[in-house]
Structure 1
Amino acid sequence: MFKKLDKPYFDTREGYNESYVDSLPLLRNIPDYRPPGCENITYPTSNTTVSVVLNYHNEVLSLLLRSIYTILAAIPPHNLCELILVDDASNFTSYPDLERVEPLVSQFTVSVRYFRFETNKGLIYSRVFAAKKARGDTLLVLDSHVEMKKGFLEPLLQISDRNYRAIAAPVFDFFETFRMVHDDYDGHGLGYDAYLNWVWVIKYFTGTVPWQIPGILGGAFLMTKRRLEEIDYFGKGLVGWGGENIELSLKNLMCGGEIWGVPCSRCLHFAASRNPEIHGDRVHASKTSNVVTVAKSYLDDHQFEEFLKGRPGYPYADERAVAENKKLLQDLKCDRDWEWIREHLMDPVIESFSSKTHIAVGLMFGEQCIKVEGDDVFKLHPCDSSQPFVNQLRLTKRFELRWGKQRCFDIGGTPTRLSLCHHLEGHQKFHYSILTEQLSNKAQDTCLTFKPEDATLAFKKCTRNSPNQKLRFKTVFLPDLIP
């Protein structure tokens, strides 16, 4: 049914294993990834109507059609108002099969509205365009390479029916088609760090009860048309792809809304082997400038200054959009801010501005700062006061020795090396003493030690009064936490 392309060409094109995804039936019995107990929950019948939005550019035909077919099979007919397809200027020379989508879906009994742009508008424009066209009570926005089972919609509608200001997000189950790897992204503990990067705090969450979260991933969410109109949709001043999910989340929360992660609603997402910043024939539409516009719109002046320290050389914000966004917050009398979101919805270990989650920042030996090269080499470099926290060695309130956005030093291997922060202490727990000036790991009685022979540092057995183990932090925020 589908054309075949060799893997090397396809991998550079869209990042999926085309032979594999083409081999799958359009309707199949996918695994049930829900937590135990979800199958026993009965949800009240909802008469809320849903407009489903799928926007795409040069999508793999089998993935797109599978998304459409599973939506039609999973959503109760009395809830499904319409399916809105937005073709964002797909290249029919390279993707001729996409011309078959419109005649194929025209055979369905459900209302299918098909729009095609002749020039590429980008994901954000396409979604807002579709949202304004939608006729349903609620809008279900989905990526165009997903699958779901029956029972997907009902837990989401329960959230939005209870509060029209609530955004309901299913749990994403990612499936990478070359390595055949499955992973779930339940969003528990998910938040933004000081630079509006996603941070995933690893927690072991089980249960069927929805939980409040600080943001959506953007690939699958449901919210009411009324709320979208009330907050003037999303994406003002944003181009292409990226940052729109952060903006929608912040704006909705700051203006009295809620965001819920719903564990009994699952969405299987076919994950590409690369990031969609360059998607098909599109030129990279700078996600970075989008996030700067979002930050300047929704952070206060001090927070925005801190944000920029982590974005060296980033482009300027869209000042017109910033002014319009700030005016909207005033007009809607939005009384929450970033600090409210951080305090009420984000795990306390997620790095925030200034000293919120740090004991000390900027580890030094002598007059030079210690930096990391690769995953395991400590070297000395001249200190740079303009460097953001993310580019400095820092001790957190969880006594992690952090470097970068989500990486912590782990003493469990040889040599000690960076790995994903797991927040479970143990091999990632370090201590600094102002009295002895040593940075140590108690589990192995080792201290970070300067090695004169190659001017690097490594963890060696702690030795009292060793001059090569005397370190200090450039800035200490919470001296009471350092013995």
Structure 2
Amino acid sequence: IFLILYCLLNSSETGKPHTMLIETSAQSSDIKHLPKVVQQKKKIPKPKLYPNSALFTKWGDDLTEDEQKEAEALFRMYGYNAFLSNRTPLDRALPDTRDSRCRNVYYPEDLPTISVVLIYLDEALSVIQRAIRSIIARTPKHLLREIILVDDYSKNTPQWNLSNVTTKRPGLIRKVRHKRQMGLSQSRNSGWQVATADVVAILDAHIEVIEGWAEPLLARIKADRTVVVSPVFDKVHFDDLHVEKYLSFGHGFDWALWCLYESFSQDWINKGDESQPGKSPSIMGIFAADRRFLGEIGGLDGGMTIYGGENVELGIRVWLCGGSIEVVPCSRIAHIERMHKPYALDLSPLMKRNALRVADVWLDDFKKNVLIAWNLPLQNHGLDIGNVSERKQLREKLKCKPFKWYLENVYTNLETWDNLLGYGTLKNTIYSRYCVDQGAVPGNIPILYECHSQQPQLCYYNTESEIIIGGLRSHKVNSNQCLVDSGSGSTPTLQDCKVARQKELHMHWDFRQGEAIRNKATNRCLEIAWGLNGYYELIIQKCTGQAWKIDNVITTF
């Protein structure tokens, strides 16, 4: 009986001890041998000092007020839970998220050596220490040549003490510090330029590598030195630092050149083997490449400023200039997804400028699509993209293919936007302070709203006489929202363009710049009228001669 009671007290289905109160009897002479159990008091949650902070949404109930203040201050500094990181073992175990087939692959001993570059701006010391510890522990010693730390002029860099993570490998760490902030692209170049191994792996510093991460990358590069490879990123949550497995995807982008995940080809899917590498149109910020090949194709574009677009530029250039890109699912890295980045609160201006630089060098006639995506005029957009003459000379020297080849052979999912006539905000000449807006989401009622020129107000008119409202999707698999006249009532609607075509809804409009917008089927017009709520509202009615203008005209219509 005593043994049963002991087991009940110290085990459960979840592996946690039961909490229970045992009432003893003086008649039991052996009761003194039972383990002493104290009834736990119900914990009272501490008041949250920062109820609106994303850090404390799911974490931090047990922190004191002083601990909350410290955690929030560190969170604002780094964009992740540095407070918790500082209290987490540097050698913590990670789940092995690889496909089971990856664990049975044999890799030869004579793989290329690797230099690992960790780039950072304002990282917590414990995060960098954990990254280094994981790389040393989970990379075969004979393959790891060096770890290069590139500091892009951090403001919150503590006095580094890395002796506790490199005691067994003196001289393994090399440091580079910029004298001014130069951005992601140049930081990666700085690390690559001082690397000495056969292969350079360029990573963010807020990562932990998973067992067996290096060998699959090195094996692919050994087989083909012109292939640039990426591991699969598992997500480390910024608040509680737990690791979430991500599925294997390729890396792509939209016409604004924001990177995004992209499905592998149907051929890869048909194989039914998730351990196999998949071709990828582009690459995100973490990759490995033959060090010399990376130099032959021009490294990364040092003319990119601060943040954004450099990974897409590299991806396009690799494909056009004799290489290829693959994502290798057997290589996995746990990557902290920051709640906010240290570069700027709004990254759009940086990204816009860099995207235009990429377009000018590599996209040929399709560079207009980048201007359209950013709602900029096709001529005289007014942004300084820096000197691109060297990059254009590099393209000629390497005899790179035209971008049309890339669209036809590599990234076939991108829409070419060949049928556009005009784009931008759509305004009625009676009251130009307000713009056509997609309205509430989810919903399908367009509205008038004070002009702000963001995505909900981006409109497009095309050669099929369709008016698309609320942004234009970059990929063929996605759908847009088209303006439709139901034929009755006065309320316009938005319908999925593909569905509207199939159902033959009234979605075609006669429109000339500075004139009426008239539905071809109903002969009614899109207009504005004074509503019962005391504001102008968007309606469809018998045409009264109202006129509309769209910001940018591609071809006179």
TM-score, length basis structure 2: 0.65
| Residue pair 1:102, 1:114 contacting (<8 A) in 2 also | no
Counterpart among 198, 222, 232 of residue 288 in structure 2: 222
2:371 aligns with one of 308, 319, 322: 308
What SS does structure 2 have at the residue aligned with 1:233? Answer: coil
Partner of 1:477: none
Pair 166,202 (structure 1): closer, same or farther in 2 beyond 3 Å: closer
One-letter amino acid matched to 1:161: K
Question: Gaps spanning 5+ residues in structure 2: where?
Answer: 1-65, 482-492, 509-524, 544-549, 551-557
Shift of 1:236: 3.1
Opposite residue 187 of structure 2, the aligned amino acid is S
Corresponding residue for 1:99?
160
Match of 2:205, SS state, is coil
Q: CA-to-partner distance for each residue in 1:194-231, whole Å, 9 max, x for gaps?
A: 3323243467966111111111111x211011111211
Mapped contact 2:176–2:190 kept (Cα < 8 A): no
Deviations 1:74-133 (CA, angstroms, capped at 9, x unpaired): 111111111111223333xx443x432378647624622123334333332222112111
Looking at structure 2, the residues matched to 223 and 100 of structure 1 have their Cα atoms a distance apart, in angstroms, of 30
Gap change, CA 1:54 and 1:106, over 3 Å in 2: farther
Q: Deviations over 1:160-186 (max 9, x none)?
A: 111111101001112222276836263
Q: Equivalents in 2 of 1:50, 1:24: separation in Å?
A: 28
Aligned partner letter, 1:341 = Y
Measured in 2, the distance between the counterparts of 1:99 and 1:135 equals: 23
Residues 221 and 160 of structure 1: CA distance in aligned 2, closer, same or farther (over 3 Å)? same
Equivalent position of 2:407 in the other structure: 342
Pair 1:186-2:255 in alignment: no
Q: Deviations over 1:31-78 (max 9, x none)?
A: 122234222222333331111111222211111111001011111111
The alpha-carbon distance between structure 1 residues 326 and 277, as it changes in their structure 2 partners (threshold 3 A), is same
**RCO (CA 8 Å, sep 6+): is it higher in 1 or 2?**
1
Distance 1:52 1:430 in 2: 50
Map Cα deviations across residues 333-376 of structure 1 (whole Å, 9 max, x no partner). 12x2322222222252x333424xx9999999x99996413423
Tell me the residue number matched to 2:203. Answer: 142
Please, which of 73, 78, 90 is the counterpart of residue 154 of structure 2? Answer: 90
* Secondary structure of 2:246's aligned partner: strand
Which one of the candidate residues 122, 134, 155 is aligned to 2:216? Answer: 155
Report what 1:44 is aligned to.
Answer: 108
Q: Which amino acid aligns with 1:162?
A: A
More strand per residue: 1
SS of alignment partner, residue 65 of structure 1: helix
Question: Amino acid of the residue matched to residue 216 of structure 1?
Answer: I
Between the aligned partners of 1:346 and 1:10, the Cα distance in structure 2 is: 41
**1:462 corresponds to which residue?**
none
Amino acid across the alignment from 1:245: N
Alignment partner for residue 360 of structure 2, among 277, 281, 296?
A: 296
* SS across alignment from 2:501: strand
Hey, what does 2:41 align to over in structure 1?
A: none
Deviations 1:131-181 (A, max 9, x none): 111110110111001112221111111211111111010011122222768
Conserved 8 A contact 2:114-2:198: yes
Q: Name the CA distance, whole Å, in 1 between partners of 2:340 and 2:497.
A: 30
Instruction: Tell me the equivalent position of 1:414.
Output: none
Task: In structure 1, list runs of 5 or more residues that go unmatched.
Answer: 411-416, 419-426, 440-448, 459-465, 469-473, 475-483
Residue of structure 1 equivalent to 2:521:
none
The offset of 1:245, in angstroms, is 0.9
Match of 1:444 in 2: none
Partners of 1:265 and 1:112 lie apart in 2 by 23
Alignment of 1:345-424 (within 5 A): 345-348=410-413, 350-355=414-419, 371-375=437-441, 376=443, 377-379=445-447, 391-392=458-459, 403-404=470-471
Structure ID, larger Rg: 2
RMSD: 4.5
Judge conservation of contact 2:230–2:287 (CA < 8 Å) in 1: yes
* SS class of match (1:307): helix
1:12 aligned residue: 76
1:209 aligns with 276
Specify whether residues 239 and 102 from structure 1 end up closer, same or farther in structure 2 by C-alpha distance, changes over 3 A only: farther
Q: Tell me how far apart the structure 1 counterparts of residues 450 and 348 of structure 2 sit (CA, whole Å).
A: 35
Distance between the aligned counterparts of 2:425 and 2:226, measured in 1? 45
Match of 1:432 among 491, 501, 506: 501
CA–CA distance in structure 1, aligned partners of residues 179 and 390 of structure 2: 29
What is the match of residue 277 of structure 1?
Answer: 343
Matched, 1:116 2:185: no
User: 1:463 aligns to what?
Assistant: none
Deviation per CA, 1:247-297: give whole Å up to 9, x if none. Answer: 211111111101001111111101111244329xx9999333222212111
Letter in 2 for 1:74: R
Over 3 Å counting, the alpha-carbon distance change for 1:394 and 1:109 in structure 2 is: farther
Amino acid at match of 1:431: A
Residue 167 of structure 1 is matched in structure 2 by 228
Deviation at 1:456, TM superposition (A): 5.1
Q: CA deviation at 1:304?
A: 1.9
CA distance in 2, matches of 1:278, 1:102: 32
How far residue 9 of structure 1 moved from its aligned partner, in angstroms, is: 1.6
Gap change, CA 1:367 and 1:340, over 3 Å in 2? farther
2:118 maps to which residue?
Answer: 54
Partner of 1:318: 386
Give the distance between the partners of 2:280 and 2:461, measured in 1 at CA: 26
Matched residue SS, 1:171: strand
Identity %: 27
The question of whether the paired residues in 2 share the 8 Å contact of 1:15 and 1:274 is answered with: yes
CA distance in structure 1 between the aligned counterparts of 2:87 and 2:389, rounded to whole angstroms: 50
Tell whether 2:136 aligns with 1:69. Answer: no
Tell whether the 8 Å contact from 1:186 to 1:263 is kept in structure 2 after alignment.
yes
Task: Write out per-residue CA displacement over residues 7-31 of structure 1, whole angstroms, 9 at most, x where no aligned residue.
Answer: 3222321110123222322112211
TM-score normalised by length of structure 1: 0.74
In structure 2, the CA distance between the partners of 1:34 and 1:351, relative to structure 1 (3 Å rule), is farther
Question: How far 1:381 sits from its partner (Å)?
Answer: 8.4
Q: Offset at 1:434?
A: 9.4
Q: Per the alignment, do residues 118 and 183 of structure 1 end up closer, same or farther by CA in structure 2, a change over 3 Å counting?
A: same
Counterparts in 2 of 1:362 and 1:327: CA distance versus 1, 3 Å: closer
Separation in 2, partners of 1:52, 1:267: 13
Q: Does structure 1 retain, via aligned residues, the 8 Å contact 2:186–2:302? A: no
Hey, what's the Cα distance between the residues in 1 that align with 2:82 and 2:306? 25
Q: CA deviation at 1:392?
A: 2.5
Conserved? CA contact 1:361–1:389, under 8 Å: no
